Structures are given as C-alpha cells and as structure tokens.
C-alpha cells in the first residue's frame, strides 16, 4: 500500500489525571543511571499492516504478544482489530469518531484482554461490525495485562525500556516523519505538515545515537525497515508553537508532539518456575541414604533428573508423603546437590 494512504487514528487520551505514574511505580529509577542501550533484546515481532483502517491504537496487541511470549515461551498472534473495537466502547470520544486513544488501549488490555488474530482478523467486516460471541471474549481473558503506568515524557519511556518493558505511545506526526525517512530512520530535524496522531510501540533505545526503535503497523515496506523505525529523541521532545485560540489572549501556546505514553505491566514468572515444553531425563542416579546409611535398590523412580529443570522429577515433598503413607511415620527427604545424594530420614 502507498505510504501516503494510511489513516492515522490516535487521539489525545481523556481523564489521565488519575493514572499511576511510572516514576511512582519505579521510584528508584532515573534516566541518569540507565544503560547506554536498552529494551526488550532481540525479540522479533510478527509485523502487522493496519491497511486503510484508522486502528493504530489497536496495535497495542503487539505489547501483549511480547508479554505472552515471555510467560509461555510461545508466540501468539493477537488481534489489533479486537483491541480497537473494544476501545470504542470506553475511550470517551464523541460517538462516530474514527480512531481511539492510547489510554483506551491500556484499559482494553487490562479489563478485557485481547483475543487471537485468527478469531477476529483485520478486515472490513470486523471494522464495521461489533464484537460478538463468547468464544472471542473468553479467548481474550487469558491475554490480559495486570496494570499500566503513564509516562509524561521521554525520560519515563527510556526508564521503562531499560527495565525490559515495551512502551505504547501516541504522537502527533508531521509528514517528514515518513516522507524523509531513510531505511526506517526518521530524520532528526522535525518538519513537514501535520498529518494526525499515530500509535506505536517502543521496544529499544540507544543513548549514543539518541533514537528510540519502534515496531510499526505499516507492513514491512517503506518507510519502515522490515517493519521497524528509529525515531530521534528530538521528535519526543519537540514543542509545537500554535496561535492562541480566539479570545484566549495574544500569546501563542506550545504543545508536545508526544501525545500519550503508557507502560503496560504484566506478571512473568521467574524462569525457574516456567516448565520447559520438553524435559530430557538424565541417566545420573544419586546415592540413596536412609537414616544415614546407603541402601541398594533398583526402584529409583524419584531419582531421575530432569536436565532442563536441574532437579529430581518427583519432588522431595512428594517422596516424603509417599513414605509417610507407607511407614505410618513422618519422613524428611533432602537432596544434596554436592554429593548427588537423596537423604531420607524416618
């Protein structure tokens, strides 16, 4: 699709005064002590194309694709159209308004979640219709975020990225943003004519180059580089001078290009709590001691070691319960990793 035909659909969020600020969620963090380069590592998104639809705020689905992949180890493609349609139920904009807000996207992810793309694909029928069916809503339930925080400036975006958290933000764009972009790199100088608001997901930053890398919703062609763009810090900090409204005095007023920015928060269990999809059972068999005395037995089911887990396949608590039932006495079982010994005390 020609890059000039996209409908930009991000509008300023309403009722943001009660939002939890990122600086309160991460009080010990400062942009002065973040790493020179940070973000979500080498995670690769499956690039989406919003086509002619003004549903860029629905691309907050990217964020939950990332969090779900961290939690489950599998990539699940989620529906931006679903997010957008649910946004329209609570974004606070006048009826019939095309486009939505970044805050609405965060609330959709938090309250409803987002269903899989296969259940609610991006097409004209779903854009003009309404979300219906228990299956779609039930599928969305398992793809929720826990909470979100608001980023008033670029500093909070960088702090969030340094913590490994992707950031959803909306920005007023000028035409130079994409007409003068070279291999996905937006020009440092802000210029061009106003074209509307656009929602993007920040995934990486570089303090030396002073750029934020974002995943776009314009497919993999121009003006992106394989679906990604790098935006200079100047765009996040730029203040636009506008004439004062009639009757508001003679002074011009300033407003930032950065419209709204949010950091979705989700729970990802520690890696040691995430079971691998496959477990290789090792052939190393520990020594077994009962009340301090080694025993000889061929029945060592509990001694098999899962290499990926680094532990016995049956927990020592389970062994204790089995022995208690068998002997009628309380049992204590410990595994000594240094001597590779299962120690049973009866």
Please classify residue 271 by burial: count the beta carbons closer than 10 Å to its beta carbon, then call 0-12 exposed, 13-18 middle and 19+ buried.
Answer: exposed
Please classify residue 129 by burial: count the beta carbons closer than 10 Å to its beta carbon, then call 0-12 exposed, 13-18 middle and 19+ buried.
Answer: exposed
- CA pair distance 148, 331, nearest whole angstrom: 46
Please classify residue 146 by burial: count the beta carbons closer than 10 Å to its beta carbon, then call 0-12 exposed, 13-18 middle and 19+ buried.
Answer: exposed
pLDDT given at position 301: 43
Structure tokens at 102: 């970044």
Model pTM? 0.76
Check: CB of residue 109 under 8 Å from CB of residue 264: yes
pLDDT(3) > 50: no
- CA pair distance 344, 64, nearest whole angstrom: 45
Lowest pLDDT segment from 218-222, 234-238, 270-274: 270-274
Dump pLDDT digits (tens) for 278-325: 555 555 667 778 888 887 654 444 445 555 555 555 556 667 767 776
Domain annotation for the chain: domains and CATH numbers: 3-270 (3.90.70.10), 275-345 (no CATH)
- CA pair distance 311, 110, nearest whole angstrom: 36
């Amino acid at each position: 699709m020609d890059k000039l035909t996209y409908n930009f659909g991000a509008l300023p969020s309403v009722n943001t005064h009660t939002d939890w600020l990122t600086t309160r969620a991460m009080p010990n963090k400062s942009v002065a002590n973040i790493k020179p380069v940070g973000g979500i590592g080498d995670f690769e998104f499956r690039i989406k194309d919003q086509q002619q639809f003004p549903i860029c705020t629905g691309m907050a689905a990217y964020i939950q694709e990332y969090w779900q992949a961290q939690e489950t180890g599998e990539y699940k493609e989620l529906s931006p159209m679903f997010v957008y349609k649910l946004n329209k139920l609570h974004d606070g904009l006048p009826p019939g308004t095309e486009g939505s807000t970044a805050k609405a996207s965060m609330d959709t992810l938090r309250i409803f979640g987002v269903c899989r793309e296969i259940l609610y694909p991006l097409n004209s029928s779903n854009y003009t219709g309404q979300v219906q069916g228990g299956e779609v809503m039930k599928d969305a339930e398992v793809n929720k975020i826990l909470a979100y925080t608001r980023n008033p400036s670029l500093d909070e975006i960088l702090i969030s990225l340094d913590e490994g958290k992707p950031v959803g933000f909306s920005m007023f764009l000028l035409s130079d943003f994409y007409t003068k972009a070279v291999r996905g790199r937006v020009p440092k100088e802000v210029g061009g004519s106003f074209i509307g608001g656009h929602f993007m997901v920040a995934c990486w930053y570089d303090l030396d180059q002073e750029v934020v890398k974002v995943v776009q919703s314009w497919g993999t062609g121009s003006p992106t580089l394989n679906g990604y763009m790098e935006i200079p810090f100047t765009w996040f900090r730029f203040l636009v001078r506008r004439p004062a409204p009639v009757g508001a005095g003679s002074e011009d007023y300033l407003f930032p290009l950065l419209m709204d920015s949010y950091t979705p928060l989700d729970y990802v269990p520690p890696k040691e709590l995430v079971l691998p999809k496959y477990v290789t059972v090792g052939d190393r068999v520990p020594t077994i001691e009962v009340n301090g005395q080694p025993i000889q037995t061929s029945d060592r089911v509990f001694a098999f070691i899962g290499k990926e887990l680094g532990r016995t396949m049956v927990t020592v608590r389970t062994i204790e319960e089995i022995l208690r039932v068998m002997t009628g006495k309380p049992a204590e079982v410990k595994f000594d990793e240094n001597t590779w010994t299962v120690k049973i005390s009866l």
